[in-house]
């Protein structure tokens, strides 16, 4: 296991430190951990995150929380500008940040706080304007809404292999009976074990897997109609309805706003 060295920030005696970096399309960080929790905001581009527990997709102007000590990989889809807030564990616990990876929405206020925090020195004076800014930043992070842009991986080996195959070629056309045949189970056993190992139904998991794939493809400039058809949606409007429900805007509006 490799630990990413962001010295001197890991050991800086402040609850939060913000960094900003630009990455190339396809850049990948192999499995690693951080001593601090990582709130990774995609100012532009799409980030994918992989752990042993599942996969996550971070659209433009959204963020993911990766708790301290969680082994994870990250890949960049398109040129990515990432603003990271590294949070000490006592502060993360105090704020009630989750103990698992989670994609979050990002408010206009939080976006501006992140942009302002880029210029705050690591050893800011805690009673200064910069200290209050960082404190507000942490509280705003803790208040963000969670988004369903993950596909938890079951620990049962047969289910895990089938899920990895579907993640590689996601489609709403892959039904429960198809998956049950792949893993050599009855429909009833498959649905029971799938919910037991993932916490959600297969139908809900499949929809999240398809939406994650759609976000990556749309972020790379593919047409909505093509993406919706490839993923098995009955129509572009059906796909748009699901996208709007999860991300709060139609795909054309969402990615237009992300580019502005």
pLDDT, tens only, 130-160? 999 999 999 999 999 999 899 999 999 999 9
Write the pLDDT tens digit of every residue in 80-104.
999 999 999 999 999 999 999 999 9
* Domains in the chain: ranges and CATH: 2-147 (2.60.120.280), 150-259 (1.10.10.60)
The residues pairing with 72 across neighbouring beta strands, listed in sequence order, are 32
Higher pLDDT, 10 or 113: 113
pLDDT the model gives residue 167: 93
Write the pLDDT tens digit of every residue in 110-130.
999 999 999 999 999 999 999
Q: Is the pLDDT of residue 56 over 90?
A: yes
With beta carbons less than 8 A apart as the criterion, state whether 152 and 103 touch. Answer: no
- Residue whose tokens read 């976006």: 111
Q: What is the pTM of this model?
A: 0.89
| DSSP conformation letters of 52-106 | TTEEEEE-TT-EEEE-TT--EEEEEEEEEEEEEEEE-HHHHHHHT--SS-EEE--
- Quote the percentage of the chain above a pLDDT of 70: 96
Return the SS3 of 45.
Answer: strand
């Amino acid at each position: 296991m490799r630990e990413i060295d962001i010295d001197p920030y890991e050991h800086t005696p402040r609850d939060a430190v913000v960094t900003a970096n630009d990455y190339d399309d396809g850049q990948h960080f192999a499995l690693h951990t951080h001593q601090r929790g990582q709130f990774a905001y995609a100012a532009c581009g799409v980030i994918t995150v992989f752990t042993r527990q599942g996969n996550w997709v971070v659209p433009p102007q959204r963020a993911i929380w990766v708790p301290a000590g969680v082994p994870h990989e990250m890949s960049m889809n398109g040129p990515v500008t990432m603003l990271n807030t590294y949070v000490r564990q006592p502060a993360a616990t105090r704020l009630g940040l989750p103990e698992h990876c989670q994609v979050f929405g990002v408010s206009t206020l939080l976006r501006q706080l992140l942009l302002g925090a880029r210029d705050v020195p690591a050893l800011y004076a805690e009673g200064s304007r910069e200290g209050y800014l960082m404190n507000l930043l942490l509280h705003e992070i803790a208040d963000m809404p969670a988004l369903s842009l993950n596909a938890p991986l079951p620990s049962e080996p047969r289910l895990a292999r089938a899920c990895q195959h579907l993640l590689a070629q996601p489609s709403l056309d892959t039904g429960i009976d198809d998956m049950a045949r792949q893993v050599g189970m009855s429909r009833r056993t498959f649905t029971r074990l799938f919910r037991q190992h993932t916490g959600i139904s297969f139908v809900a998991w499949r929809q999240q897997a398809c939406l994650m794939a759609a976000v990556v493809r749309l972020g790379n400039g593919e047409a909505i109609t093509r993406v919706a058809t490839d993923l098995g949606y009955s129509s572009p409007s059906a796909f748009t309805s699901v996208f709007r429900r999860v991300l709060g805007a139609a795909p054309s509006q969402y990615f237009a706003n992300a580019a502005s």
